[in-house]
Chains A and B, each alone.
Chain A
Amino acid sequence: MSEDWRAAWRPVVDAVGGDFGDGEAIEGADAVDASALRRFLEPLEFDCPLHQEGGLAPLSSYFTFVAPPIWQPGGAAVFTSDERDAQPDGVGQRRFLTGLEPPYTGYFAADFELQPLLPVLVGDRLTRTGRKLVGCELKETSVGRGAFMTWEWEARNQRDEVVARFRNTMYVYNGPED
């Protein structure tokens, strides 16, 4: 019985090697601009002139500039509930998931690798392409039972040049029952 949770993850383990991006290029909500860079640097208290004045995006901001909008003009309303902890509709749709996962209650980033290839500058607009599952390690942790799923993907600029390659691991888990 205790190993049933492992069996539920079998389809995901078997899917390792597959690309779940479906050829989709997910455009970031915002272009790289001076205001966005200033906001990004503020909580870090990061005063490097390359970023503050030179228009160079920090590597750590690439995640931000490939983040899709929560809502966009012409789209359906996403803030549809006044429940205190309601999340906007569709918020999890572009997570790093295969669609084969058993029901889960939690999801967080666990590991990360980044190889920058080209500078990202003010005026650039980034998209996320590819979503290849390259690993799935089942593990029981202090927060629940689930899988560390490792993904590879790329960020591209408006000229379709690859600006960075990423490899990140997400822990997808089901918390202990009450």
Chain B
Amino acid sequence: MTQAFDRHILFLPQTNGDAYTLGPLQSGPPCCVPEPLIRVKDLSVHYGDHPALEHVTLDIYKGCITALIGPSGCGKTSFLCALNRLTDLISGCRVEGGIRIGIQDVLDPRLDVPALRREVGMIFQKPNPFSLSIRRNIEMPLKEHGMRKRAELDETVERVLIDVGLWAEVKDRLDRSALALSGGQQQRLCIARALALEPAVLLMDEPCSALDPLSSGVVEDLIGRLRGRYTVVIVTHNLAQARRIANYAAFFWLHERVGTLIEFGQCRQIFEAPAHGLTAAYVNGAKG
């Protein structure tokens, strides 16, 4: 018996009346209701015998952008993958602890995982559009999840492409291969593809690191505009980027070769007045 995923808990009222745009870019401090959406308690991720992440407890707030910062190898990506159960796909991976999204226990073995992954979308470091046309890249997941009417599909494709700022660039070549797009365009297409499923949460694993600076800036802008309407968790090595777009920041570090959470709080506080010495050293570039 599978537990259906309750969408209503996650549904967020749109802060802007306009259905087609995400609104103007808002910078800096919190603009959203500081209500925790995802509660992580004592999370540990093991690959075989080796623990990658241990005893992580933090809350992800609704509608806000939370940045996960810290050096390579401290489990930030593992943390992200646990949130949408992508860890299920890695052989030998074991996740312990508790993750609740709304009232749903993510780690419940009876959970309908495909429904979870529809609610919690993921963007990868390397853009991975399928070897299909631009239109089919977005339509195919929609069709698989039950959307059938042509009018609805067309409308969704147009809407998400406008949202990510690609519409003007690709509206005349929707049926050409997605692989012909540039890196930045491909990444935006991947975001559009994820947005088409109307998730509540977007997980992003270093979405700009494989892009050139110009494309990186465009994608970063887009992520900033997602604030308020989506809950975003973004792993980034770029501290300046985190500072620019995040509301909250979680600092991870390696302790005896196991990743742990050192400090978590509002972005401004982490960067300007960190409580932990290690955090201060890292954000000031002295370590890591």
Tell me if chain B binds chain A.
no
* Chain B residues near A (Cβ < 8 Å): none
Residues of A whose CB lies within 8 Å of any CB of B are: none
